[in-house]
Every structure is written in structure tokens, then in C-alpha cells.
Amino acid sequence: QKEVEQDPGPLSVPEGAIVSLNCTYSNSAFQYFMWYRQYSRKGPELLMYTYSSGNKEDGRFTAQVDKSSKYISLFIRDSQPSDSATYLCAMTFMDTGRRALTFGSGTRLQVQP
Amino acid sequence: DTGVSQDPRHKITKRGQNVTFRCDPISEHNRLYWYRQTLGQGPEFLTYFQNEAQLEKSRLLSDRFSAERPKGSFSTLEIQRTEQGDSAMYLCASETPTGEKLFFGSGTQLSVL
């Protein structure tokens, strides 16, 4: 079993829809949680960064962390065709000497105009 | 452009050949990371540097792989005696001084024939 599980999709939604993307994880030691967006043939781009359980909002994006359930989510409001990309969750311990991110496999999102 | 720069963008090589990739991080970032990503998967951590010191290596980094960051600025990743299984996108990333955010380059796509 992978440490971080993510539904690969593809997820297809109409423009303007609310999108919900999710990851589950098995290691309760993970402390920091991120969401990256990756366009085809590009490197991942950081969207959201959270530490504690709860919600964090940035524009149309809301990241949610539930450490008790080992479950994180990313919500995209008013989705746009330009949001079509692969969304990767990532997490880390951030202990001294251990800084590697563990990524999910990514969810491919298609927003239809 | 002040982002993370990787060169070359694409590399095609024959099995058994050696290849070397270069990464130029964002100038004020003293931590630099190498990841590998295959199709349909999230990036997998390979190694990271703090300044010129290599502080962590993944078990994915076999003895055919070597990374250097000689003066704490740019880094190189060399793969010796390439195998078809080495075909992947090799991503470099650098981290903000506060250690919260990782910025990725566009990657080097390696194809081993």
C-alpha cells in the first residue's frame, strides 16, 4: 500500500463547477501538506501549503486537512478551463535531515468550457 | 527569468551511455532537490543538498546515479550506464529559506532507447 493514495481520475466537470480533490495517507507523522498543479510537460507548481488541521483559503482554492482521519482535500470554486491540469497532493515530516516530499500519483482534471 | 532552470529539456540516449543534467536553482535558495517522475505517477524524491552538502539520499538513487553541487549554486545529476528503466522526467526544485515552499523547474525528460 502506498503512503499517499490519490484517485487518478480523470475528473471531468463543466466550467463553473466546484471541484473536490482528495488524498488519504497512512503515516500519522506527516505534518505539512501541499497541493501542486502540474500542466503537461511542466514541473509542479505550488498552489496551497498547510500545516494544521482545518481550512485554508486562497482565492478560488480551499485546502482542508483532517489529521484525525488522515484525509486532505482541495476545493476549486468557479472552475475554469485553465484549471485543466493534474493536481498532486504532497506531504512531509519536515524533521531536521528528512525533508523529502511524498507525493500522491495525481488526479487529472478536465474543465469543459 | 528567476525560476528554477533545468538543462537540457529533453535527452534521448542509447542504453549504456552516460548522461548529465544541470539545475540552476533560485539564487537565494540554499536547499536544492532532485526528483524523478514517471508517466501517471507523482514525483519521487531522489536526493537533496543544503548548500554544497548532500544531506539525504533515497534508496532509489542506485550507485549508477551521482549528484553534485560543488559550490552550493548549480547542481548536476549524472546517470552512468543508462538503462531503459531510467526513462523518466528528472525534476529539480529549490526551497525558500524558511523551508516552507518548494519551486520546481520544468524538468529534463530522459528517454533511454
Contacts 24+ apart (CB under 8 A), B40-46: B40/A8, B40/A105, B40/A106, B41/A105, B41/A106, B42/A4, B42/A6, B42/A88, B42/A90, B42/A103, B42/A104, B42/A105, B42/A106, B43/A44, B43/A88, B43/A101, B43/A103, B43/B91, B43/B104, B44/A103, B45/A100, B45/A101, B45/A102, B46/B77
Does pLDDT of A96 surpass 70? no
CB A37 within 8 A of CB A84: no
In total, the C-beta contacts within 8 angstroms joining chain A to chain B are 61
Residues of B whose CB is below 8 A from A88? 42-43
pLDDT score, position A20:
96
- Chain A positions touching B40 (Cβ under 8 A) are 8, 105-106
Letter for the amino acid at A77? R
Model pLDDT for residues A3-44, shown as the tens digit of each residue? 999 988 899 999 999 999 999 999 988 988 999 999 998 999
| Least reliable range by pLDDT among B5-14, B69-78, B93-102 | B93-102
Least Cα separation, residue B80 to chain A (angstroms): 24
Q: What percent of chain A has pLDDT over 70?
A: 96
Give residue B100's pLDDT: 73
Q: How confident is the model at residue A95 (pLDDT cuts 50, 70, 90)?
A: low
Is the pLDDT at B1 greater than 60, yes or no?
no
| Contacts A104 to B, Cβ<8 Å | 42
